[in-house]
A and B are shown apart, each in its own frame.
Chain A
Amino acid sequence: MTLSGALEVASCTDPGMVRSHNEDSIASDGDQGLVVLADGMGGYNAGEVASGMATTVIITELQQLLEKKIPYEVDAHSGQLVAHQLLHEQIAKANTSIYQAAQSQPQYAGMGTTLVVALFYDNKMTVAHIGDSRLYRLRGGELRQVTKDHSLLQEQIDSGVITPQQARQSQNKNLVTRALGIDPIVEAEIHDYETQPEDIYLLCSDGLCDMVSDDDIGLALQTLSSNLKLCAQHLVQTANDNGGRDNISVILVRVLRDYPAPRSIVGKMMSWFK
């Protein structure tokens, strides 16, 4: 199955102005409707190793699996949507790989990574995330944060301890409550969303959203939507102009047209009788 021509994808990643290493990793396959972003953590180069393992495992495995599996179908055994099942399984696989490497090699001890994955199919998008890397949507000129961080700050906001405005002043940034590769088992948060032509989706690491306000992100997506690559570079540049205290990664996905699932008449008949 291919979505060729339905999505435009552009990305940019940068170590920022302070860090010497880039511990973020990004990967994408526009034809398969697949984008992955990870923000690694851990000493020396362990963060890069963790985020690199996450993006590599997830993109290569899913590329192969999507050749034969249909994401919008429901798995007969589990009753789960195939898209969800694929994401669950491959995230678990990436988690195990990172966890075992961290356990067996001392230089990787304690490494982990955040993750945000979006899979596009049948005019829909399934988003899986762990930690504080985010997915935003621009639709009709309005920017909306789609994912909710797994972080101490988000928990404090949810329970009313601090307001979102105060959260921007907090010294407790970068404390995630969930990460890939830290424990033997991790649960990703997975949700489905309808997409529309002209939507723009932004996946980013906290190096972008900590340094650039949502208003400025929204303005950039709106103003530069006709040149997605330039838009991605501009976002990274703005984060760097503001101090670039962390690694910065962005992936932009623009929906160019509808991409409904190619359902045959026989298939439809079958589904009626099921």
Chain B
Amino acid sequence: MAKLILSMDGLVLKEIALTKERTTIGRKPHNDIQIDNLAVSGEHAVIVTILQDSFLEDLGSTNGTVVNGQPIKKHFLQNNDIIELGKYKLKYVNEAVAGQAKAADFEKTMVLRPGSVKAPTAAPAASAPAGPAAAAPVAAAAGARNLSDTLAGQSVTAAPVAPPKPAAAPQKNAALQLLSGANAGKELDLTKPLTTLGKPGVQVAVITRRPQGFFITHVEGASFPVVNGKTLDAQAHSLNDHDVIELAGVKMEFFLKT
């Protein structure tokens, strides 16, 4: 369950769990999070929570809403985001992300069954595999629909989110230097996750860049690549600094770059 930690000048004032579909923030007393400060508008912002995801939306406040130093209209909250309203700070903490040990549970696939909104007393066996969590997704699915209604036609202006971290690439970079053939002396940087070598239809091998290092694997052709004078089999072969590869009649040296 995600929560907000309200603080001012580094002093924690309170914690608010995001249990509701809509959590309103503002100066007036009817808000879920009331901040009695003139810099805060009567109805300042709202947080819409759909299962594990929360979205912050500014409600046209006078002084605006700032997340991590950037003014926003609408923002998809990420763990440890800092929301600023005047002198007040709200830190967004999503336990699902923080508690890595529990992560596996959250990743179990579940079924959302819109049908059971109408018939909540469906057969017990039909109440989805997630047990206690099953009711929540259904309710939230309805919430999602409400949200999409209110936002219909309104484009989401949140800042583009960086794509998930790419594969943990090996620390070192590597390259091949051709030792024979027409292009002898030429260097080929191995920057891509996959680099193919050889002549299609004759002999092809691929070098894969993995977190554990670089590996060469035979792809096609009757003859297999030779590394340091030894012919490989169909298995991937780990490459070491200064290994010499022979492929389709061309010799090349693999080396790690610093």
Instruction: Give chain A's interface residues, CB within 8 Å of chain B.
Output: 18-19, 39, 41-43, 46, 102-103, 109-112, 114, 132, 152, 155-156, 159-163, 165-166, 168-179, 182-183, 206, 212-213, 216, 219-220, 223-224, 226-227, 230, 234, 237-238, 241-242, 245-246
Q: Are A161 and B55 touching (Cβ within 8 A)?
A: yes
Q: Are A159 and B151 touching (Cβ within 8 A)?
A: yes
- Please choose the segment from B6-14, B25-33, B101-109 that sits at the chain A interface, where 4 or more of its residues have CB less than 8 A away: B101-109
CA distance A66 to B9 in the complex (A): 73
CA distance A200 to B105 in the complex (A): 34
CA distance A155 to B50 in the complex (A): 12
The smallest C-beta distance from B168 to any residue of chain A, in angstroms, reads 7
* CB < 8 Å A-B pair total: 163
Q: Are B129 and A160 touching (Cβ within 8 A)?
A: no
Selected from A111, A169, A173, A224, the residue in CB contact (under 8 A) with B161 is A169
Pick from A110, A162, A177 the residue with the most CB of B within 10 Å. A110
B93-139 at interface with A (beta carbon < 8 Å): 94, 96-97, 103-104, 106-115, 123-129, 137
* Chain B contact residue count (CB 8 A cutoff): 62
Contact of A241 with B168 at beta-carbon distance under 8 Å, contacts A42-B129, A152-B51 already known: yes
CA distance A163 to B75 in the complex (A): 11
Closest A residue, CB atoms, query B122: A183
**B164 partner residues in chain A, CB cutoff 8 A:** 168-169, 213
The smallest C-beta distance from A231 to any residue of chain B, in angstroms, reads 9
CA distance A171 to B196 in the complex (A): 36
Contact of B220 with A by CB under 8 A: yes
**B211 partner residues in chain A, CB cutoff 8 A:** 241
CA distance A103 to B124 in the complex (A): 9
CA distance A165 to B158 in the complex (A): 11
CA distance A103 to B122 in the complex (A): 12
Enumerate the 6 nearest inter-chain pairs by beta-carbon distance, A residue then B residue, closest first.
A171-B52, A159-B148, A110-B129, A174-B109, A226-B220, A109-B125
Q: Are B111 and A179 touching (Cβ within 8 A)?
A: yes
12 A-B residue pairings within 8 Å (CB atoms):
A102-B125, A109-B125, A160-B154, A161-B144, A163-B160, A174-B108, A175-B51, A177-B114, A220-B193, A223-B206, A226-B220, A227-B219
**A223 partner residues in chain B, CB cutoff 8 A:** 194, 196, 206
CA distance A174 to B105 in the complex (A): 11
Q: Are B113 and A159 touching (Cβ within 8 A)?
A: no
Q: Are A172 and B128 touching (Cβ within 8 A)?
A: no
Contact of A160 with B108 at beta-carbon distance under 8 Å, contacts A183-B113, A183-B126, A241-B168 already known: no
CA distance A114 to B109 in the complex (A): 10
Q: Are B160 and A171 touching (Cβ within 8 A)?
A: no
CA distance A18 to B124 in the complex (A): 30
Q: Are B193 and A238 touching (Cβ within 8 A)?
A: yes
CA distance A206 to B108 in the complex (A): 11
Q: Are A166 and B161 touching (Cβ within 8 A)?
A: yes
**B147 partner residues in chain A, CB cutoff 8 A:** 161
Q: Are B96 and A18 touching (Cβ within 8 A)?
A: no
Q: Are A152 and B126 touching (Cβ within 8 A)?
A: no
Q: Are B194 and A220 touching (Cβ within 8 A)?
A: yes
Closest B residue, CB atoms, query A181: B111
**A112 partner residues in chain B, CB cutoff 8 A:** 111, 129
**A216 partner residues in chain B, CB cutoff 8 A:** 167, 193
**B55 partner residues in chain A, CB cutoff 8 A:** 161-162
Q: Are B148 and A241 touching (Cβ within 8 A)?
A: no
Closest B residue, CB atoms, query A219: B194
Pick from A132, A182, A212 the residue with the most CB of B within 10 Å. A182
CA distance A182 to B138 in the complex (A): 14
Contact of B39 with A by CB under 8 A: no
**B107 partner residues in chain A, CB cutoff 8 A:** 173-174, 245-246
Q: Are A161 and B110 touching (Cβ within 8 A)?
A: no
Q: Are B219 and A41 touching (Cβ within 8 A)?
A: no
Q: Are B206 and A224 touching (Cβ within 8 A)?
A: yes
Q: Are B219 and A224 touching (Cβ within 8 A)?
A: yes
